[in-house]
Amino acid sequence: MRQVGLRAPVTAASVDISATVPWEQVGAAMEEASFPGVSSDLFSGTDVAVTADQVGTSAQDPGSATASASILGQEVEIGLVPAVGEDGGLALDITSVSLGGSQEETGTGLGAVGDLAASLALEGSQVEVPAELLPGGLGLSGAIVAPEGLRVRLEGEDVALSQM
């Protein structure tokens, strides 16, 4: 933080925060996440477990993770790659969908698993956490996969500290 005010409302001219969001919290966020074109209760009542597959090293190589859940009575695994969304929020790009061990890479054509992905409107989709849900007017400037969770970097200017 730089240039922090001493009078109410207390603001900082700039804020740069790095933090790791544990995988349990990422799974909980997915349970509430929006999938464009899909019912908002896709994961409602479902426990979503997220684990790291490949640890990221940079924004160009953010790594990958897998979200596992039971959807429509079937065990589904969804491959995810983190990115910064257009609005400064978090976007988890869906790269693959696996049903009972049969995997379909997104964008490679339809098969039985592809049909499921398409029917759930997951193929080529994203899990989105809009910037307005981030604390105190901060925007996401980076996200990579770490063994213990999703490592994020948040930045903002003229941030009201009471809103963090």
Which residue from 17, 1, 20 is spatially nearest to 63, judged by alpha carbons?
A: 20
pLDDT tens, position by position, 136-161: 778 899 999 999 999 999 998 888 87
Question: CA quadruple 33, 78, 23, 15: dihedral positive or negative?
Answer: negative
pLDDT the model gives residue 43: 64
pLDDT at 47 over 80: yes
Q: What is the mean pLDDT of the chain?
A: 78
pLDDT at 75 over 90: no
Helix boundaries (H) for 9-49: 23-32
User: Which 3-state string (H, E, C) describes 82-100?
Assistant: EEECCCCCEEEEEEEEEEC
Question: CA quadruple 163, 141, 96, 107: dihedral positive or negative?
Answer: positive
State which H helix or E strand residue 163 sits in: none
**Mean pLDDT of the 85-91 span:** 87
Beta bridge partners of 158: none
